[in-house]
Amino acid sequence: METAAEKSPAPVRASRARASRRQYVIYGLLACAALVFLTPLAWLLATSLKPVEQTMSMPPTWIPRTHSALLDGERVEVSRDYQVTQPGVIAEITAGPEAGRRLLFTDEQAAARQAEIRVLHRVESGWWRVTERSATNIVARTARWDVVPPEAIESRVRFRWENYPKALVALSGKSVEEIEAEARRGASAPAAAAPASDAPGFSTFLGNTLTVCVLGVLGVVFSNALVAYGFARLRWRGRDTFFAITLATMMVPFPVLVVPLYGLFKQLGWIGTLLPLWAPAWFASAFNIFLLRQFFRTIPEELSEAARIDGCSEFAIFWRIILPLSKPALATAALLHFLFAWNDFMGPLLYLTRQKSFTLALALQSYQSQQSGVQWHYLMAASAVTILPIVLLFFFAQKTFIQGIATTGSRS
């Protein structure tokens, strides 16, 4: 018995086949583009689970690994420092101010200093210099080291989840040595613990960021909805002209406003506080006004007219009818501002002067610019923790966000 596809004319089947191939090509291109955009995120997550020496290794190491080798007859965890490029020897200096020190010598160097060194073992080209790692996975300055053949090194996959709590501690400005000392004190008695530091930590930065985001979202939702309602549902002279002027302010770049805004906030005494970061959100913005106005215009006027007949005031109509029907658009405006406030770096950099008032974005930059150098595995771990709330928020609010964007402006 013939199927419906077999009964179709040949040109129709050929057209369907071409459409199917075109669809596969489009999906393939989209998948490749998605991989390109996901590569930096994958690298961030992989780096956050590595030891520090693997973060900048060449060729790049995508999967974190741990290495172990025999040092002084004991198998310990080591870091692979570099490969030896020419034969030589490991020798201990027996005379002079460096007596007792063990060094790697080439054959020529060993021959020139044979009277003052004691050869321990020979080294061949391609062997690895390895250094012992401490119990907290940090290479100590006085750690044991050796040069061993590649087959003497055992490697296995290991994800260093301990980087995450250490990264959150490092955000307070503590060095690697201080983090290691705190890890050792964690197993000691409470009486031996060092006094608590006054330096702000991750919880302080997270609280500051949430304060800015939540208060800003409340201001954006209320002020923009109120102004957009006046442009969308009320009739008054010059409304369209004033709306056009409001939209024109979107063309003014933020750098143009930096100096006057800073002067205003300084006169108000807000510099060094969180007020400049969330207070402006309570005075509406052109983009959100436009977004909500277009959505309000899709709500039938008959609902407002019926409410007026029943004796409702304009504010009651706005509060009881328009806002409940505008949840997708309000959620879109709230989500966009939350994302902006969470990731904002320029504002905190300009207005915040004390570390206790830093947001997460500014705390990450402050940690990266420390003079002792950047511990990239900690920086990537802290960055992963910072972006996690944004990813979760967009994942759970995706349906509402897309609905708000898709339905805005469907009616002129």
Domain assignment present for 378: yes
pLDDT for 98 equals 77
Average pLDDT across the chain, whole number? 84
Query: What is the residue range of 31's domain?
Result: 4-48
Domain assignment present for 132: yes
Whether 241 and 366 map to the same domain: the answer is yes
Domain assignment present for 197: no
Domain assignment present for 370: yes
pLDDT for 190 equals 46
Instruction: Categorize the per-residue pLDDT at 82 as very low, low, confident or very high, splitting at 50, 70 and 90.
Output: confident
Report the range of poorest mean pLDDT among 45-54, 71-80, 182-191, 247-256. 182-191
Report the range of poorest mean pLDDT among 171-185, 211-225, 288-302, 303-317. 171-185
Q: For residue 46, how far is the Cα from the chain centroid?
A: 13
Whether 207 and 334 map to the same domain: the answer is yes
Whether 28 and 147 map to the same domain: the answer is no
Domain assignment present for 165: no
Domain assignment present for 185: no
pLDDT digits (tens, 9 = 90+) for 164-190: 988 888 887 665 556 556 655 554 544
* 142 pLDDT higher than 80: no
Instruction: Categorize the per-residue pLDDT at 95 as very low, low, confident or very high, splitting at 50, 70 and 90.
Output: confident
State yes or no: cis peptide before 59, omega within 30 of 0.
Answer: yes
Domain count, the chain: 3
pLDDT for 189 equals 45
pLDDT digits (tens, 9 = 90+) for 340-396: 999 999 999 999 999 899 999 998 888 877 645 678 888 899 999 999 888 888 788
* 412 pLDDT higher than 50: no
Whether 313 and 214 map to the same domain: the answer is yes
pLDDT for 143 equals 77
Question: What is the reported pTM?
Answer: 0.76
Average pLDDT over residues 13-41: 86
Average pLDDT over residues 87-94: 87
pLDDT for 194 equals 40
Whether 38 and 68 map to the same domain: the answer is no
Domain assignment present for 224: yes
Whether 310 and 384 map to the same domain: the answer is yes
Torsion of CA 201, 202, 207, 213, to 10 degrees: 140
CATH code: domain of residue 390: 1.10.3720.10
Indicate the residue among 125, 157, 189 that finishes a domain.
157
Whether 149 and 242 map to the same domain: the answer is no
Average pLDDT over residues 72-81: 86
Whether 242 and 332 map to the same domain: the answer is yes
Whether 214 and 362 map to the same domain: the answer is yes
Instruction: Categorize the per-residue pLDDT at 262 as very low, low, confident or very high, splitting at 50, 70 and 90.
Output: very high
Domain assignment present for 166: no
Whether 240 and 372 map to the same domain: the answer is yes
Whether 138 and 224 map to the same domain: the answer is no
Whether 275 and 387 map to the same domain: the answer is yes
